[in-house]
Amino acid sequence: MGENVKALAAEGVCRGYGKGGTRREVLRDFGLTMERGEFVALMGPSGSGKSTFLHLAAGLIASEAGRISVGGVDVTAMGDSAAAKFRRRHVGVVFQSFNLLETATVAENIVLPSRLDHVRPDEARLAELVGKLGLAGMERRLPAELSGGERQRVAIARALFARPDVILADEPTGNLDARSSHLICELLSGLNGSETSAILLVTHDPVVAASASRVCFLNEGRIAESFPSDHDPAEISRRYLETYK
C-alpha cells in the first residue's frame, strides 16, 4: 500500500431498504477515512447503519451511490466473485456470532483464507497469531470445545491471518460476558500496536469503544462527530448521550 493510500476511504455512500412508502434511508452521503494501522470505533443507536456500512465495506452488499475503497481499491465496483477473493486477501471480518466452521479445528479455522485461495498456509504466521492471541495448545480443538472468548479469539486470528488492510469487527463482544469482553478489548488494542491492519469496530458500548484511538458517532446516515477516545469510557458515554438525546 502506497504512502498516501488510505486503509479505508468512503465518500458519498448511500444505502436504503424497502421501496415506496416503506423505504428507509440508512446511510446518506456517508463519508469516513481511516489511516493505515488506525483503530476507530463506530457508534450509534440500533438501526443507525453501523453494520450496514461494515457489510458495504466488506463487499457483502452493494451501495446505491458513492465509493468505498480498501487499500486504494474500489470495492463498490466489484462483482460477487471478485469481492469474495478481495475480501479473503485484504479485508478481515469479525462477527458477533464468531462464524467458525464447527467441524474444523482452531488451526484450520485460522488458515481458512489461504485454503480458500488454494495457497499453502504460512505456518510461521499461524504460530505467531496463536501465540499473540493466547491460543497455544488449542490448535487441534474444535470450536465446541472452546469458550465464547476463545472462539472470538480464533475469529480474530482468522481475520488477521492474511495481514489485511483493514479489520471490520461487528459487535465482537456482543455475545461475551463482561470479563471476556474486557479481554477482547485489551487484545484488539494490543494487536493494533503490533499489526499493520487498521481496525474499524462497530459497537454501542462506550467501554468497548474506549479501546479504540478514535470514536465516530453515526447519526441520520452520516458521521455526526469524530474525536480522540482518550480511552475514557465515561467521556465517550457523556458525548454519546449528548449526541443522541
Q: For position 118, which CATH number holds?
A: 3.40.50.300
Which pLDDT does position 57 carry in this prediction? Answer: 94
What pLDDT score does 158 carry? 95
The number of folded domains in the chain is 1
- Domain assignment of residue 192, yes or no: yes
Tell me if 210 is assigned to some domain.
yes
Residue 197 lies in a domain: yes
Q: Does residue 2 fall inside a structural domain? A: no
The answer as to whether 3 is a domain residue is no
Torsions phi, psi of 156, nearest 5?
A: -70, -40
pLDDT over threshold 70, residue 204: yes
pLDDT for 111 beyond 60: yes
pTM passes above 0.75: yes
- Percentage of the chain beyond pLDDT 70 is 99
Q: How confident is the model at residue 193 (pLDDT cuts 50, 70, 90)?
A: confident
Look up the domain containing 161 and give its range: 8-243
